[in-house]
Structure 1
Amino acid sequence: MDRSDTLAALRRGELGGARALRLPDGLSEIPREVFALADTLEVLDLGRGSLSDLPAEFGRLHRLRVLFCSGNPFPRLPPVLGDCPTLSQLGFRGCGIREIPEEALPRDLRWLTLTDNRIEHLPAALGERPLLQKLMLAGNRIATLPDRLAGAENLELIRLACNRLETLPSWLADLPRLAWIAYAGNPAESATAPTAAQRVPWAELEIGDLLGEGASGRVHRAVWRGRGDAQAVALKLFKGAMTSDGLPEREMEACLAAGPHPALTGALGRLDGHPEGAQGLLLRLLPPQSRVLAGPPSLASCSRDVYDPDQRFSPDHARQITRAVAEAVAHLHGRGLLHGDVYGHNILWDAETGAAVLSDFGAASALPGGDAGAALARIEVRAVGLLIGELLDRCEAPPARLRALERACTHPDPHRRPSLAEAVAELRHRPA
Structure 2
Amino acid sequence: MHTLEQLKSGQLKGIKRLKIASGLTDFPAEILELADSLEILDLTGNHLIQLPDDLVKLKKLRIAFFSENDFDHFPPVLAQCPHLEMIGFKANRISFIAEDAIPAQVRWLILTNNQIEYLPKSIGKCHRLQKCMLAGNKLTELPTEMAACRNLQLLRISANQLETLPRWLFSLPHLSWLAFSGNPCCPLQQTDNTLQELDWADFELDTRLGEGASGVIYKAHWRHADVDKNAAQVAIKIFKGEVTSDGSPADELNACIAAGTHPNFVQVLGKICNHPEQKQGLVLNLIPPSFKNLGGPPSFETCTRDTYPGGTSFSLTAALAIAAGVAAAAAHLHTQNVMHGDLYAHNVLINEQAYPILGDFGAATSYGNSITAWAPALERIEVRAFGYLLDDLLTHLAPADTDQATCLALVQLKEACLQEDVLQRPGFRQIAEKLEQAAKMHRQATAVTDGYQ
- TM-score after normalising by structure 2: 0.92
Q: Tell me which residue corresponds to 2:208.
A: 210
- Displacement of 1:103 in angstroms is 2.6
Partner amino acid, structure 2, of 1:199 = E
Q: Does the residue aligned with 1:264 lie in a helix, a strand or coil?
A: coil
How many residues in Structure 1 have an aligned counterpart in Structure 2?
428
Given candidates 183, 195, 198, the residue that maps to 1:197 is 195
Aligned equivalents of 2:315, 2:301: Cα separation in 1: 27
Aligned equivalents of 2:75, 2:177: Cα separation in 1: 28
Q: Tell me which residue corresponds to 1:156.
A: 153
Q: Tell me which residue corresponds to 1:414.
A: 422
Aligned equivalents of 1:232, 1:409: Cα separation in 2: 39
Answering whether residue 357 of structure 2 is matched by residue 357 of structure 1, we say yes
Given candidates 370, 373, 385, the residue that maps to 1:371 is 373
Does structure 2 conserve the Cα–Cα contact (< 8 Å) formed by 1:80 and 1:103? no
Partner amino acid, structure 2, of 1:361 = F
Partner amino acid, structure 1, of 2:24 = L
Partner amino acid, structure 2, of 1:426 = K
Aligned equivalents of 2:374, 2:432: Cα separation in 1: 21
Given candidates 51, 59, 62, the residue that maps to 1:65 is 62
Partner amino acid, structure 2, of 1:3 = H
Q: Tell me which residue corresponds to 1:3.
A: 2
Aligned equivalents of 1:191, 1:23: Cα separation in 2: 40
1:189-208 CA distances to partner (integer Å, 9 max, x unpaired)? 15511653211111211211
1:223-260 CA distances to partner (integer Å, 9 max, x unpaired)? 22334334221111111111000111111111122111
User: 1:96-135 alignment to 2 at 5 Å?
Assistant: 96-135=93-132
Aligned equivalents of 1:190, 1:417: Cα separation in 2: 28
Partner amino acid, structure 1, of 2:236 = L
1:118-167 CA distances to partner (integer Å, 9 max, x unpaired)? 00010111111111000000000000101111111110000000101000
Q: Tell me which residue corresponds to 1:138.
A: 135
Partner amino acid, structure 1, of 2:224 = G
Q: Tell me which residue corresponds to 1:267.
A: 268
1:383-407 CA distances to partner (integer Å, 9 max, x unpaired)? 1111000111000247111111111
Q: Does the residue aligned with 2:299 lie in a helix, a strand or coil?
A: coil
Return 227-236 or 173-182, whichever deviates more.
227-236
Does structure 2 conserve the Cα–Cα contact (< 8 Å) formed by 1:255 and 1:266? no
Does structure 2 conserve the Cα–Cα contact (< 8 Å) formed by 1:26 and 1:47? no
Aligned equivalents of 2:217, 2:46: Cα separation in 1: 30
Q: Tell me which residue corresponds to 1:403.
A: 411
Does structure 1 conserve the Cα–Cα contact (< 8 Å) formed by 2:159 and 2:181? yes
Does structure 1 conserve the Cα–Cα contact (< 8 Å) formed by 2:160 and 2:183? yes
Q: Does the residue aligned with 2:178 lie in a helix, a strand or coil?
A: strand
Partner amino acid, structure 2, of 1:205 = F
Aligned equivalents of 2:150, 2:67: Cα separation in 1: 27
Q: Tell me which residue corresponds to 2:182.
A: 185
Return 230-239 or 124-133, whichever deviates more.
230-239
Q: Does the residue aligned with 1:226 lie in a helix, a strand or coil?
A: coil
1:281-328 CA distances to partner (integer Å, 9 max, x unpaired)? 001112220111111111111111111121111111111111111100
Aligned equivalents of 2:150, 2:222: Cα separation in 1: 49
Answering whether residue 50 of structure 2 is matched by residue 53 of structure 1, we say yes
Q: Tell me which residue corresponds to 1:221.
A: 219
Does structure 2 conserve the Cα–Cα contact (< 8 Å) formed by 1:256 and 1:266? no
Does structure 2 conserve the Cα–Cα contact (< 8 Å) formed by 1:25 and 1:47? no
Aligned equivalents of 1:177, 1:211: Cα separation in 2: 34
Runs of 5+ consecutive residues of structure 2 not aligned to the other structure: 445-453
Partner amino acid, structure 2, of 1:41 = L
Aligned equivalents of 1:191, 1:30: Cα separation in 2: 43
Does structure 1 conserve the Cα–Cα contact (< 8 Å) formed by 2:188 and 2:251? no
Q: Tell me which residue corresponds to 1:16.
A: 13
1:57-112 CA distances to partner (integer Å, 9 max, x unpaired)? 11111110100001111110001111100001110011110011123211211000
Partner amino acid, structure 1, of 2:320 = R
Aligned equivalents of 1:42, 1:50: Cα separation in 2: 22
- Displacement of 1:17 in angstroms is 1.4
- Displacement of 1:3 in angstroms is 2.8
Given candidates 66, 71, 89, the residue that maps to 1:92 is 89
Return 364-373 or 44-53, whichever deviates more.
364-373
Aligned equivalents of 2:44, 2:373: Cα separation in 1: 45
Q: Tell me which residue corresponds to 1:426.
A: 434
Aligned equivalents of 1:363, 1:25: Cα separation in 2: 32
Q: Tell me which residue corresponds to 1:320.
A: 321
RMSD of Structure 2 on Structure 1 (CA): 1.3
- Displacement of 1:221 in angstroms is 1.3
User: 1:327-366 alignment to 2 at 5 Å?
Assistant: 327-350=328-351, 352-366=352-366
Does structure 1 conserve the Cα–Cα contact (< 8 Å) formed by 2:258 and 2:366? no
Does structure 1 conserve the Cα–Cα contact (< 8 Å) formed by 2:390 and 2:414? yes
Aligned equivalents of 1:363, 1:237: Cα separation in 2: 16
Given candidates 381, 384, 392, the residue that maps to 2:383 is 381
Return 23-32 or 367-376, whichever deviates more.
367-376
- Displacement of 1:348 in angstroms is 0.7
User: 1:221-300 alignment to 2 at 5 Å?
Assistant: 221-229=219-227, 230=229, 231-300=232-301
